[in-house]
C-alpha cells in the first residue's frame, strides 16, 4: 500500500489500513497535518493546530499495535482517523473559546463527551476549527480569528457557523469534523463547501462539554465526504450520556453502503414553497436534477406544502435569541468570561465593560433581541407566539410524514456568496436559514448532500429530513445519492 493520500481517503478506509498495519497512525497523522497547514494558509479554517498532541496520540496507537499484535486495533472503528472539532466543543487542556474574545484563553478540564467517544474509538484530534462567534452566523465571517474562506473560491464564504469544519473536510485536511447545528450551522456550510453535513435527531448526541447557544435547538453534527463515514462516527458517539439529560438511546445505524436499491420505493416529499421563488436558479436546477435522479432510481417523488414553513425563520430567531440571552448570561467576568475593567469600578460597571468588550456586534444584537423577546409585558407577544408557531410547524411536518419517508428541500436558497457581501445585511443572512431551521425547530434529523455545482462553479447542497429517530434513512439516502460521485476536494 502506498503512503496515505489524505485528500482522497475515507475515514473507514484509513481505519482499515491502520488496523491492518498497512499504514501507521503516525504517517496518516503527519500527512494530514501537512494538509491542515496548507489549508490554513489558504482558508483560515483552523483556530489551532494540535501537532504535538496528535503525533503523541498516533505514536501511542502504533505502540499499542506493535505490542498487541495484528488484531489489537480491531475494536477501534476509527483507528488512526484524524479529525477536527469546532472551537465551541470542549477539549481537555486545549483553548475552547467558541471564537469569542470573552472566552479568550478558556481551557476546559475535560473533553466534551463526543470528543471523548471519538478518541476512545481510535480517532485522533489534530485541529480546532474556526466558526462564527458562539455559533451565531451563517458565513464564518464573525470570528475573533477572522473569516474562513471557501476552499473552492477564496473570495467566497465557507458558510457558517461551522465554516471551518466544512472547509477542512472539503479541502481534504481531515476526513471527519464535528460542528454544532442550532439552525443549520453544520448543513449550510457543508452545502457551501460541497461535503456531507448531518444533524442527528435532537437528543442523539450529547452536548455535555459543548458551549451552549440555544439549548432546545442545539445538536452536535458531523461533516464528512461520505455518508458511510458519517454513520460510523454517529454510532461511536451516540447513546445516553448521564451528563446531558436530553440524550436518548438510539438504535445503531450500522454499516452504510452506497446502494441504489435504498432509493427504490422511497417516498420523497419535495417542499414546494422552498424550491421556487426566493431560491437561486442554480439551486432550483439542482433540485430538478436530483428529483429526476430519484425518480429514475424508483423513488416516488411528490410535492408537499408546509403552510407555516416560511414562518420558521422568524420563529427560530426569536427562540434561539431568547435562549441565547439566558445561556450567555453566565459570561459576566465574575466567574466565567475574561474580565475587563478595574475591580474598584464595582460589579455593575465591570460586568458592563466585560460584556461590551467580550461580545462581538452580532452576538450583542442577538442578546438584545432575546432579552426583548423575553421582557415582562412582551413575553407572550414574542416568545410565547414563537413557541406556538413552532408547535404548529412541527405538527405540519409530522402530518407530512404520514405520507412520505423523507422531506426534500435545498439546504440553502443560494450557493456561497462573496466575503463581505451580506455583512451589513443581517436580515438577508437570517433568511438564508429558511430551509435548515425547520429540522431544529421540529427536533428531527436532517442531512445536506452535495448536489452538483452551480453558478461560478460553487457547490450546491440539497437537504433531506426524516421523522425523529429515523436518521438511518437519511444516511442511506445520502449514501445512495452521493456515494458514487466522489466529492471533489477543492484545490488548496
Active-site positions? 86, 161, 185
Residue 194's nearest CA partner among 429, 453, 475, 433 is: 453
Region binding ligand GLN by CB under 6 A among candidate stretches 132-140, 150-158, 165-173, 203-211: 132-140
CB of 368 within 8 A of CB of 356?
no
Q: Does 241 bind ligand GLN (CB under 6 A)?
A: no
Report residue 422 as a C-alpha cell. Answer: 451580506
CB of 410 within 8 A of CB of 283?
yes
Region binding ligand GLN by CB under 6 A among candidate stretches 33-41, 111-119, 183-191, 288-296: 183-191
Q: C-beta of 135: minimal distance to ligand GLN in Å?
A: 3
| Per-residue interface string for the shown chain with ligand GLN, residues 411-450, x marking contact by CB under 6 A | ----------------------x-----------------
| Per-residue interface string for the shown chain with ligand GLN, residues 17-56, x marking contact by CB under 6 A | ----------------------------------------
| Per-residue interface string for the shown chain with ligand GLN, residues 139-178, x marking contact by CB under 6 A | ----------------------x-----------------
Nearer to ligand GLN, 182 or 228 (CB): 182
Q: Does 185 bind ligand GLN (CB under 6 A)?
A: yes
Q: 184: alpha, beta or left, given left = phi > 0 and alpha = psi -120 to 50?
A: left
Using CA atoms, how far residue 264 sits from 162, 254, 302, 339, in Å, is 33, 20, 14, 59
Q: C-beta of 181: minimal distance to ligand GLN in Å?
A: 5
Q: Which of 4, 77, 137, 445 binds ligand GLN (CB under 6 A)?
A: 137
Instruction: Give the end-to-end CA distance of the chain in Å, rounded to a whole number.
Output: 25
Cα–Cα dist 376/368, whole Å: 14
* Exposure string over 397-409, b if 16+ CB within 10 A, otherwise e: beebbeebbbbbb
Report residue 52 as a C-alpha cell. Answer: 504535538
Q: Does 138 bind ligand GLN (CB under 6 A)?
A: yes
Nearer to ligand GLN, 62 or 181 (CB): 181
Q: C-beta of 131: minimal distance to ligand GLN in Å?
A: 8
User: CB nearest ligand GLN: which residue?
Assistant: 185
Q: Does 100 bind ligand GLN (CB under 6 A)?
A: no
Cα–Cα dist 310/290, whole Å: 23
Q: Does 80 bind ligand GLN (CB under 6 A)?
A: no
Q: C-beta of 475: minimal distance to ligand GLN in Å?
A: 20
- 3 state DSSP class of 419: coil
Region binding ligand GLN by CB under 6 A among candidate stretches 25-33, 135-143, 231-239, 325-333: 135-143
Q: Does 320 bind ligand GLN (CB under 6 A)?
A: yes
Cα–Cα dist 387/260, whole Å: 40
CB of 473 within 8 A of CB of 406?
yes
Residue 229's nearest CA partner among 169, 176, 173 is: 176
Q: C-beta of 437: minimal distance to ligand GLN in Å?
A: 7
Q: Among positive and negative, which fits the CA dihedral 377, 380, 381, 382?
A: positive
Question: Which residues form the interface with ligand GLN (CB under 6 A)?
Answer: 135-138, 161, 180-185, 213, 320, 433
Amino acid at each position: 500500500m502506498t503512503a496515505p493520500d489524505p485528500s482522497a481517503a475515507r475515514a473507514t478506509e484509513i481505519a482499515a489500513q491502520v488496523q491492518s498495519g498497512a499504514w501507521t497512525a503516525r504517517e496518516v497523522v503527519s500527512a494530514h497535518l501537512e494538509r491542515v497547514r496548507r489549508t490554513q494558509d489558504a482558508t483560515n479554517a483552523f483556530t489551532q493546530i494540535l501537532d504535538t498532541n496528535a503525533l503523541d496520540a498516533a505514536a501511542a496507537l502504533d505502540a499499542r499495535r506493535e505490542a498487541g499484535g495484528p488484531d489489537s486495533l480491531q475494536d477501534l472503528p476509527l483507528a488512526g482517523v484524524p479529525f477536527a472539532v469546532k472551537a465551541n466543543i470542549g477539549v481537555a487542556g486545549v483553548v475552547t473559546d467558541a471564537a469569542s474574545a470573552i472566552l479568550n484563553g478558556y481551557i476546559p478540564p475535560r473533553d466534551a463527551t463526543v470528543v471523548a467517544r471519538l478518541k476512545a474509538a481510535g480517532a485522533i484530534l489534530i485541529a480546532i476549527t474556526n466558526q462564527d462567534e458562539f455559533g451565531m452566523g451563517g458565513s464564518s465571517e464573525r470570528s475573533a480569528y477572522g473569516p474562513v474562506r471557501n476552499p473552492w473560491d477564496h473570495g467566497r464564504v465557507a458558510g457558517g457557523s461551522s465554516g471551518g469544519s466544512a472547509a477542512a473536510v472539503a479541502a481534504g485536511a481531515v476526513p471527519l469534523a464535528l460542528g454544532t447545528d442550532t439552525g443549520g450551522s453544520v448543513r449550510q456550510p457543508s452545502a457551501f463547501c460541497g461535503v456531507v453535513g448531518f444533524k442527528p435527531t435532537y437528543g442523539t448526541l450529547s452536548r455535555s462539554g459543548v458551549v451552549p447557544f440555544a439549548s432546545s435547538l442545539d445538536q452536535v453534527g458531523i461533516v464528512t465526504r461520505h455518508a458511510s463515514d458519517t454513520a460510523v462516527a454517529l454510532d461511536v458517539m451516540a447513546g445516553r450520556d448521564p451528563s446531558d439529560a436530553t440524550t436518548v438511546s438510539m438504535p445503531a445505524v450500522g454499516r452504510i453502503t452506497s446502494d441504489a436499491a435504498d432509493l427504490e420505493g422511497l417516498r420523497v416529499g419535495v417542499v414546494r414553497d422552498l424550491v421556487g421563488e426566493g431560491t437561486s436558479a442554480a439551486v432550483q436546477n439542482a433540485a430538478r436534477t436530483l428529483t429526476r435522479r430519484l425518480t429514475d432510481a424508483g423513488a416516488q417523488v411528490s410535492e408537499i406544502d408546509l403552510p407555516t414553513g416560511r414562518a420558521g425563520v422568524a420563529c427560530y430567531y426569536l427562540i434561539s435569541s431568547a435562549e441565547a440571552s439566558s445561556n450567555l448570561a453566565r459570561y459576566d467576568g465574575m466567574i466565567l468570561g475574561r474580565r475587563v475593567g478595574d475591580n474598584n469600578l464595582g460589579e455593575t460597571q465591570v460586568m458592563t465593560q466585560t460584556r461590551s468588550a467580550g461580545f462581538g456586534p452580532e452576538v450583542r444584537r442577538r442578546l438584545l433581541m432575546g432579552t426583548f423577546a423575553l421582557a415582562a409585558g412582551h413575553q407572550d407577544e414574542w416568545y410565547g407566539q414563537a413557541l406556538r408557531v413552532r408547535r404548529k410547524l412541527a405538527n405540519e411536518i409530522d402530518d407530512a410524514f404520514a405520507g412520505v419517508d423523507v422531506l426534500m428541500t435545498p439546504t440553502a436558497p443560494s450557493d456561497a456568496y462573496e466575503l463581505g457581501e451580506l455583512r451589513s445585511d443581517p436580515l438577508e443572512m437570517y433568511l438564508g436559514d429558511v430551509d435548515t431551521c425547520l429540522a431544529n425547530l421540529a427536533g428531527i434529523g436532517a442531512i445536506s448532500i452535495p448536489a452538483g455545482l452551480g453558478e461560478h462553479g460553487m457547490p450546491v447542497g440539497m437537504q433531506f429530513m426524516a421523522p425523529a429517530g429515523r436518521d438511518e434513512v437519511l444516511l442511506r439516502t445520502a449514501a445512495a445519492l452521493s456515494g458514487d460521485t466522489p466529492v471533489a476536494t477543492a484545490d488548496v
